[in-house]
């Protein structure tokens, strides 16, 4: 059948445009949903009218293999990050880096900075603990052991509306609920490391970064004997986060669980930057006479600039691990009036609406001039975002033809190997796919490597209360697509 279609298309090319409608009629309809998918959806109690599926050649040279409700606008959850990250690759370039300028605003004499240390945030999504430590080490390398003035933080590049971290899903301690910030320090999260010591009868506790003014116990008691709580050791600890200045644990740490690392969003995000910078500086042996406060950066050239990893590296963390706050950092960066070539100075202020406008304009110019998806915050952590399987398919086909295709594909989780697809039950290495998951939402979108070596674009979106139960169904769809051979 596909040979007949190719022959008809060739005839149309020879005879001219007047016969285009005939060729379109002759194109066979896409295959019905694979039986394995339908059966798995039935087991999950997800009706077919709650599902949108598209499987089509990545190069667009042949008709779709599967096309089911592809024009239905659905919530894609984190699959929306594909739009944000690919747009960033095209608009900013894969080598784009974020700059964090630092000023020693005063003379340094005998190890004392007689003035303020000023740090200007320009949206770096990757200013994690290790890089913050490197920034402060650069300050010490300039001879500063004591800051006689204040630490001044300029965060004016992003105008981020105030939000309640519990508003989305009632989980304020989940790091994914952190909001964007022009000076985003360590995702506004603390990392607790529990190391059991049987001889001492405790699990030693380390907190990173150390937060100024926050008391944390040095250890928690061990629970003796075998425990079935390792999978839920956090509940066994009975953590009390009610006081931002004191962390308490009313329970025990299971002795046979080994070392565990727990990332928690700090309960008072407004004070996080100040506490993290002051705490880390003092832990490095630095002294500090003033306070940490927001303020404006000097108009002079900075003393030095800390550069982020390039965008191509940053989007790998965003897509592999579905990092929401990093995606929002990229989203806001696209809304900066000067979000253009790498190395240019940041000018103006990014707002959510400016970022949405930038993405809509890019979409209408590069993907489809007729209609754009409903874009909210660029991360997919939203109940308002809407996009169809057809639109995601267009995006993926455009990306496949782009010179930045290798960077985008390399950023996606590999089925069965890493990121959010590490535990997927689909065939190992059969696909590079972005996942999406919210309550009532499940999505996959990306590239599948078919049996004959021809890459396919796959999009599957489920919007239904039983969406979480549809994971085996989407795994079956990936396996089905990877097995396709003769049809291509």
- Same domain, yes or no: 159 and 237: yes
204 and 59 co-located in one domain = no
Q: Answer whether residue 252 is part of any domain.
A: yes
Res 120: pLDDT: 97
Q: pLDDT digit of tens for each residue in the chain (488 aa)?
A: 333 334 433 433 333 333 333 232 223 444 589 999 999 999 999 999 999 999 999 999 889 999 999 999 999 999 999 999 999 999 999 999 999 999 999 999 999 999 999 999 999 999 999 999 999 999 999 999 999 999 999 999 999 998 888 888 888 888 888 999 999 999 999 999 999 999 999 999 999 999 999 999 999 999 875 565 687 899 999 999 999 999 999 999 998 889 999 999 999 999 999 999 999 999 999 999 999 999 999 999 999 999 999 999 999 999 999 999 999 999 999 999 865 444 445 568 999 999 999 999 999 999 999 999 999 999 999 999 999 999 999 999 999 999 999 999 999 999 999 999 999 999 988 899 999 999 999 999 999 999 988 999 999 999 999 999 999 999 999 999 999 985 55
pLDDT at position 52, please?
98
**67/106 same-domain check:** no
Q: What is the CATH number of the domain that holds 388?
A: 3.40.710.10
Domain count, the chain: 3
234: in domain = yes
Is the domain of 339 the same as that of 223? no
The reply to whether 488 falls in a domain is no
Domain boundary residue among 283, 308, 333? 308
Q: Domain range holding 21?
A: 1-30
Domain membership of residue 257 (yes or no) is yes
Structure confidence at residue 31 (pLDDT): 56
- Whether 76 and 193 map to the same domain: the answer is no
Same domain, 319 and 339: yes
- The CATH number of the domain holding residue 218 is 3.50.80.20
Residue 195 forms part of a structural domain: yes
In whole angstroms, give the CA distance from residue 488 to residue 451.
9
Domain boundary, last residue among 287, 308, 329: 308
Are both 375 and 227 inside the same structural domain? no
Regarding whether 280 and 340 lie in a shared domain, the answer is: no
pLDDT for 274 equals 97
Count, residues in the chain: 488
In this structure, the answer to whether residues 382 and 428 fall within a common structural domain is yes
341 and 453 co-located in one domain = yes
pLDDT reported for residue 344: 46
Same structural domain for residues 283 and 351?
A: no
65 and 170 both lie in a single domain:
no
Give residue 228's pLDDT: 57
| Domain annotation covers residue 293 | yes
């Amino acid at each position: 059948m596909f040979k007949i279609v190719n022959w008809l298309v060739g005839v149309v090319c020879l005879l001219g445009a007047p016969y285009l409608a005939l060729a379109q009629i002759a194109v066979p309809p896409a295959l019905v949903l694979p039986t394995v998918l339908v059966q798995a959806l039935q087991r999950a109690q997800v009706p077919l009218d709650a599902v949108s599926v598209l499987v089509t050649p990545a190069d667009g040279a042949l008709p779709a293999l599967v096309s089911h409700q592809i024009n239905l606008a659905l919530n894609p959850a984190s699959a929306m990050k594909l739009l944000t990250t690919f747009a960033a690759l095209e608009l900013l370039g894969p080598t784009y880096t974020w700059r964090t300028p630092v000023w020693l605003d005063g003379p340094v004499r005998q190890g004392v900075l007689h003035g303020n240390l000023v740090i200007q945030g320009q949206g770096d999504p990757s200013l994690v603990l290790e890089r913050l430590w490197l920034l402060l080490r650069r300050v010490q390398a300039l001879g500063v052991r004591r800051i006689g003035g204040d630490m001044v933080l300029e965060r004016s590049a992003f105008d981020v509306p105030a939000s309640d971290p519990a508003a989305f899903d009632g989980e304020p301690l989940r790091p994914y609920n952190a909001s964007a910030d022009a000076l985003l320090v360590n995702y506004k999260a603390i990392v607790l490391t529990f190391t059991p010591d049987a001889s001492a009868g405790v699990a030693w506790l380390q907190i990173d970064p150390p937060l100024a003014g926050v008391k944390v116990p040095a250890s928690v008691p061990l629970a003796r004997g075998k425990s079935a709580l390792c999978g839920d050791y956090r509940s066994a600890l009975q953590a009390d986060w009610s006081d931002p200045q004191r962390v308490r644990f009313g329970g025990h740490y299971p002795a046979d669980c080994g070392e565990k690392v727990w990332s928690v969003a700090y309960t008072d995000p407004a004070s996080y930057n100040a506490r993290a910078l002051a705490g880390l500086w003092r832990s490095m042996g630095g002294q500090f006479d003033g306070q940490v406060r927001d303020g404006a950066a000097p108009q002079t050239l900075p003393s030095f600039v800390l550069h982020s990893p390039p965008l191509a590296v940053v989007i790998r963390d965003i897509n592999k691990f579905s990092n929401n706050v990093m995606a929002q950092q990229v989203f806001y960066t696209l809304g900066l009036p000067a979000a253009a070539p790498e190395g240019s100075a940041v000018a103006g202020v990014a707002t959510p609406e400016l970022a949405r406008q930038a993405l809509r304009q890019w979409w209408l110019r590069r993907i489809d001039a007729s209609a754009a998806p409903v874009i909210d915050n660029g991360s997919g952590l939203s109940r308002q975002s809407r996009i169809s399987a057809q639109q995601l398919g267009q995006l993926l086909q455009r990306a496949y033809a782009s010179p930045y295709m290798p960077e985008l594909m390399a950023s996606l989780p590999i089925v069965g190997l890493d990121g959010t697809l590490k535990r997927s039950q689909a065939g190992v290495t059969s696909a590079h796919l972005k996942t999406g998951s919210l309550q009532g939402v499940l999505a996959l979108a990306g590239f599948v490597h078919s049996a004959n070596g021809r890459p396919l674009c796959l999009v599957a979106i489920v919007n239904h209360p039983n969406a979480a139960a549809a994971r085996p169904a989407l795994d079956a769809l990936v396996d089905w697509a990877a097995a396709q051979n003769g049809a291509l």
